[in-house]
Structure 1
């Protein structure tokens, strides 16, 4: 599946860190930096976000960026609650995968 390729890409990017843990200043960011699984979810989500926004037209890109800003507010509202953060990432990754599926369905490229 095409999405497994993207996940493998993000997981193999050893030094890839979308969230600068040296600048983590809110409870949600500190919790993400302290939890390996959440860090991996952050990397996966950030990679999917970068790929989707690079593959869509400007109007849809703006919609995805607006949704990302709204999602960041919801994520940050979780504070340091790891369970809440895991659920937030699962929802956002699912939403970004839906965009990727729509892109793939329109092929060939």
Structure 2
């Protein structure tokens, strides 16, 4: 990753952390004490899936805090759709892993698009 892109992403993450509270109401990472569905219980019982959940939630917060309102709505709609597909995995670890990998890749793409347009 070029140094300039890394700096832009680091700046974006720092900005997102300051505005995360506003975005957290839209999607908060799993609270394992309240995990009820088979997918949530499986995620909470797996270190790797828990890490994927944390990464996805962070990327979601960054992406939604840096885009215009219209694109933010699209990302939020995609998140709701993704949550339904994730929950459809039930306790299937392979399915959950694949779901997280795809969502993380989609959010990475949004952030890379932001970084590619600057300004810097």
Give me the TM-score of the superposition, normalised by structure 1. Answer: 0.85
Return the index of the structure with the highest Cα Rg: 2
Displacement after TM superposition at 1:18 (Å): 1.8
What residue is the counterpart of 1:88 in the other structure? 99
1:61 correspondence with 2:33: no
What stretches of structure 2 of length at least 5 have no aligned partner?
14-27
What stretches of structure 1 of length at least 5 have no aligned partner?
7-16
3-state DSSP class of the match of 2:75? Answer: helix
Give me the TM-score of the superposition, normalised by structure 2. Answer: 0.78
State the Cα deviation string for residues 15-61 of structure 1 (Å, max 9, x = none).
xx821001100000000000000000000000000000000000000
Runs of 4+ displaced beyond 6 Å: none
Q: How many residues align?
A: 100
Pick from 70, 81, 86: which aligns with 2:81?
70
Pick from 37, 46, 65: which aligns with 1:26?
37
Query: RMSD in angstroms over aligned alpha carbons?
Result: 2.0
CA contact (8 A) 2:37 2:90 kept: yes
CA contact (8 A) 2:9 2:115 kept: no
